[in-house]
Structure 1
């Protein structure tokens, strides 16, 4: 019997939702303030996933996301297929509920349409009732913006997805359900004559997955806990989506919060009990290993991480920490990523820089390596490889006032407003280096460098930290002090991630 092991996506694919179209499964996830946003993943067996693109090229309004807003932007999207189109709905906690759609998963996607304006509107999910032709929308609330949480609001929606037909009604009040708190992340379905809402509660680290059902969309709903940690090591199995295979098997994808690794994705078997309620995992407990879905065998696959940057172009796995500007990366005829040393007053705090090119921290012990050559002649021009979160550390090259290039290693604690040296700078006579981060257990990172005489460790161990909702990121960056004129560039080559 062929089996799989959880997590099936062992990196920060936060708040996943899934849909099947024919023999293909598609998944999207939160992208918060990074661009491009709304990653799009594809699978044929629910176990092996590849990244095929992004649905949101830039965040809007563009001026609001010209600088990093790590905890804002795209929260908890829902992915659906209706009327021969793909649809994604998401909540921006500062603006409201947005919708985009496309004829194919790779686009072209429409520009974001603001469906419902307001503060604290999050986690929307649509439903088109194929039996009646009616359309509905449910969403949750973020207390940080609205002062309200632990409740779900329902609307009738125009079938074209462009407007809501009423002011909305409270359809589930978590405060009235004994022991329930922080109810959020609803996913809306129709099954066996019932309206179903699958939604987590209890917080991302310690909570559970709930199911609600009602004969009428506006209620009243009855509830049940259908997935919780129990005796397993899968803390707080949180929000996700239900999908059915062509043969009628039911499966549920959800996330688990793992600190600096972010929100990794698990696949749970699902069935309908004799009382009509869903049963997830092993009688309501998450499975670590299980029989694979009854789907045609597929080759092992995972979202790409390595990159040779052909022609100066970077792969789909990379995202900027804000909306990008022209000129940050330069296309050319060879291999290697050529980043401009962007002039900025925030060069000493990577958390404030919009021009950091990032990808997700791997969820297993790994070695990350990249080659670097610094071309910038401006004193203070620098470039390097970073581990970026609430605290950050980076290693790279910097041009000195005398024109020499030094290997530097710096870090900043979560409460610090500027970086400081983690080790003494040392001369890099050729202006080149191979940079390495060894990511061990609990995301404890050791930085190393090779300037021509073999790898040497640098500084103390650095413990990677998450943002508020986001796991730690790997980053490539090139900056220079404020001033006039061009500050030069840096070239990154052969980015690799391998098991430690």
Structure 2
């Protein structure tokens, strides 16, 4: 998508606890619109992509098609990087699934309705051939994931957003037969969508699991895990609970706790951790990480959606609070800095420098149209002028991103201890077309002239 760096990579030792460790695409180098310059790239960029480790040359491969046109290949000697673009392929591998076969040949399954398999060159950086291997008769299947299990080739495909099908063959190029894995299975989260579009993984003890996702808006798409077995026909069989996706299961492996997603980030060191992504590529000359995050204004605008260097963070669900501490003494007149609930309909709390008078303003009603252009920059719902001499403020967004909650509220403080509500409860958008769920967004932009700055000394996220 439009967040940068792109293609986040997470790791787990038990398939339950996950942590961010890297991004496969350091910068979205696909035109100035990805910089929010001369346009915008909302809901463009990276869609379903694929990641694999190749033992023969010790490289990790990431492969993804951008805007239904060109496929890019990034490689790295370690999953944590450094990642570099090493090739581009003119064929669009839409919703790609990479398989590295027993003989080290690399194949990519891809497509929509018509499923194709491409064979890559020996170094994995160009295409040797591609051919259609299956034509769907059940609708527009996509989301290919390709595997080889017990000598058979498998391609998993979703029928959005309610079913998962599996193709099986004795050769990577077919012929393939198709079987339904699951359809309209009961969701494990009340109010969320049906599990679909995923892949499979096996444990060292030989157990197999299918990981899908559910449309769990306004929070976004949430992974869900269920066991599978293998039938006598060689096709996988989903393990359900009373005909529904299981709401709880034993850990697939010994529980292994990782970095808690909750807690405080004080922006120590000189770089951001992997949990952070910018809204479009940032202007790297306009921010500094050095035991605090300094955001210098990068854009003169009245539109948050057009402001560069908004830093985003996924929201812990189902309920959490995100709090930032903001030093505001270097803001220029007209500058606006704060904390947003960021999506295609948004709201925020900010401090505004009105010619030397600093005002806390809660703004709602920022909206985009169906092509992700701004139709409203929002309006102030409530505001209060800060006492003269105030140099630091704290902003908080309290969010319920569950499908049954879908609300947010905003608070502010001048001492970091006592918080006051400001504005009204904000109803979160639950439509799926923007794909990504709400995020916390930290921003600072100018409405008059560049030159001002704020420093974020901490971001704290806690369960609510």
TM-aligned CA deviation for residue 58 of structure 1: 0.3
1:318 partnered with 2:261: no
Equivalent position of 2:79 in the other structure: 105
Secondary structure, aligned partner of 2:422: strand
1:450 aligns with 2:404: no
SS in 2 for 1:418: strand
**Aligned counterparts of 1:364 and 1:305: Cα–Cα separation in 2:** 16
Q: What displacement does 1:311 show?
A: 4.8
Tell me the residue number matched to 1:181. 139
Aligned counterpart for 1:72 among listed residues 24, 44, 56: 44
Match of 2:383 in 1: 424
Distance 1:312 1:194, change over 3 A: closer
Q: What is the alpha-carbon distance in structure 2 between the residues aligned to residue 112 and residue 388 of structure 1? A: 33
1:215 corresponds, among 157, 170, 173, to 170
Structure 2 residue 441 is the aligned partner of structure 1 residue 472: no
Deviation at 1:475, TM superposition (A): 0.5
C-alpha distance after superposition, 1:91-142 (max 9, x if no partner): 2124322211222111222215212345xx42112223214x543221124x
Structure 2: state its 5+ residue gaps.
369-374
Residues 264-275 of structure 1 correspond to what in structure 2 (within 5 A)? 264-275=222-233
Q: Which residue of 1 aligns with 2:371?
A: none
Cα gap change, 1:313 to 1:404, in 2 (>3 Å): farther
Give the match for residue 161 of structure 1: 124
Contact 2:326/2:454 (8 A) holds in 1: yes
Q: 1:106 to 1:312 in 2, by over 3 A?
A: closer
SS in 2 for 1:327: helix
Greater per-residue strand proportion: 2
Structure 1, unaligned runs of 5 or more: 1-31, 142-149
Q: Superposed, which structure 2 residues align to 1:38-49 within 5 Å?
A: 38-49=7-18
Q: Is the 8 Å Cα contact of residues 325 and 395 (structure 2) preserved in structure 1? A: yes
- Structure 1 residues 224, 315: closer, same or farther in 2, change over 3 A? same
Is the CA contact 2:152–2:171 (under 8 Å) kept in the aligned structure 1?
Answer: yes
Equivalents in 2 of 1:35, 1:86: separation in Å? 20
Match of residue 25 from structure 2:
56
The answer to whether the 8 A contact 1:433-1:449 is kept is yes
Q: How does 1:189-204 map to 2 (within 5 A)?
A: 189-201=147-159, 203-204=160-161
1:225 aligns with 2:184: no
Contact 2:329 2:392 in 1 (8 A): no
Matches of 2:99 and 2:265 in 1, distance apart?
Answer: 39
Aligned to 2:310: 356
Equivalent position to 2:132, from 165, 170, 181: 170
Shift of 1:222: 1.5
Match of 2:360 in 1: 407
Q: What is residue 323 of structure 2 aligned with on the other side?
A: 369
In 2, the alpha carbon distance for the partners of 1:182 and 1:306 equals: 44
Q: TM-score, normalization: structure 1?
A: 0.83
Partners of 1:89 and 1:331 in 2: CA distance: 30
**1:303 offset after TM fit, Å?**
4.3
Identify if the C-alpha distance between structure 1 residues 400 and 231 changes in structure 2 by more than 3 Å, giving closer, same or farther. closer
CA contact (8 A) 1:350 1:388 kept: no
Q: Shift of residue 197 of structure 1?
A: 0.4
For residues 125 and 300 of structure 1, what CA distance do their matches in structure 2 show?
28
Deviation at 1:331, TM superposition (A): 3.8
- Mapped to 2, the partners of 1:431 and 1:391 lie a distance apart of 30
How many angstroms does 1:188 deviate by? 0.7
CA contact (8 A) 1:53 1:316 kept: yes
Give CA-to-partner distance per residue, 1:73-107, whole Å, 9 cap, x none. Answer: 11111111222321111121243222112221112
- How much has 1:342 moved relative to structure 2? 2.4
What secondary structure does 2:73 align onto? strand
Match in the other structure for 2:399: 439
Q: Aligned-pair RMSD on alpha carbons?
A: 2.2
Q: Which residue of 2 aligns with 1:22?
A: none
| Partner residue, 2:238 | 280
State the 1:184 CA deviation.
Answer: 0.8
Q: CA deviation at 1:487?
A: 2.2
Separation in 1, partners of 2:419, 2:407: 19
Partner of 1:25: none
Note the C-alpha offset of 1:391: 0.8
In the alignment, the residues of structure 2 paired with residue 38 and residue 91 of structure 1 have an alpha-carbon distance, to the nearest angstrom, of 12
Please state whether the residue corresponding to 1:495 is helix, strand or coil: strand
Output the TM-score relative to the length of structure 2: 0.89
Q: Following TM superposition, by how much is the alpha carbon of 1:465 offset from its aligned partner in structure 2, in angstroms?
A: 2.8
Counterpart mapping for 1:214-253 below 5 A: 214-233=169-188, 235-253=193-211
